[in-house]
Copies of this chain bind each other. A is one copy, B any other.
Amino acid sequence: MVRMTPQRRVLLDELKGTHDHPSADLLYERVRKRLPRISLGTVYRNLDLLSEEGLIHKLQLGGQMRFDADLTHHCHVRCEQCGCVDDVDCQAPEHVEQAFIAPNGYRITGHRFEWVGVCPQCQEQNG
């Protein structure tokens, strides 16, 4: 078990209190309101550590890393215009095989899936 330093606690707490899958620098800005002297390096180091410990998920959505404290099984939609990310319900992992054929020879350890689209707000703004 990893030691719960104030930085880690606040980081985890901040992440648990949101559903917008923030990037490291966005999280950095939020955490800084509670720990003004925290550094970006510490944020990155601890996000890595927390994800290795399985306390959060590290997502690679649209080029930038994003983080999620919701560990339940779900997928994500990303708005290609504003970049926001929402949760989406998702069938059980087994059902993936119905749609995608597993590759030969590889030992499969996982898969990555995301929807890409335009979020309701952006649709409204574009008429």
User: 1/0 per residue A82-99: CB within 8 Å of B?
Assistant: 000010111100011111
A115 touches B102 (CB 8 A): yes
B98 touches A109 (CB 8 A): no
A90-B101 contact given A77-B106, A116-B110, CB 8 Å threshold: yes
B108 touches A116 (CB 8 A): yes
Q: How many residues of A contact B (CB 8 A)?
A: 38
Taking CB atoms, residues of chain B closer than 8 Å to A123 are 107
A115 touches B100 (CB 8 A): yes
B112 touches A114 (CB 8 A): yes
Can you give 13 A-B contacts (C-beta < 8 A)? Answer: A77-B106, A79-B106, A86-B106, A88-B100, A88-B101, A90-B101, A91-B99, A106-B120, A107-B117, A109-B116, A110-B115, A111-B113, A112-B114
